[in-house]
Copies of this chain bind each other. A is one copy, B any other.
Amino acid sequence: MSFSSTLLEQAVNEFAKLPGIGKKTALRLALHLIKQPADDAKLFAESIAGMRRDIQFCSKCCNVSDTALCNICSNSSRKKQIICVVENIRDVIAIESTQQFNGLYHVLGGVISPLDGVGPDQLTIEPLLQRLRTDEVDELIFALSPNIQGDTTLFYISKKIKDLPVKITTIARGIAFGGELEYADELTLAKSLQNRQPVASYVSVK
Contacts and interface: CB of A to CB of B under 8 A. Distances in A.
Interface string A60-98: 000111100011100000000000000011101100110
A141 interface: no
Interface stretch (A12-20, A118-126, A163-171, A182-190): A12-20
Contact of A55 (B34, B42, B44): B34
- Most B CB atoms within 10 A — which of A19, A38, A49, A90? A49
A11 to B, nearest CB: 4
Give chain A's interface residue range (CB within 8 Å of chain B): 35 or more
Given A31-B90, A89-B31, A5 B55 contact: yes
Interface of A: 1-8, 10-11, 13-14, 17-21, 25, 27-34, 36, 38, 40-55, 58, 63-66, 70-72, 88-90, 92-93, 96-97
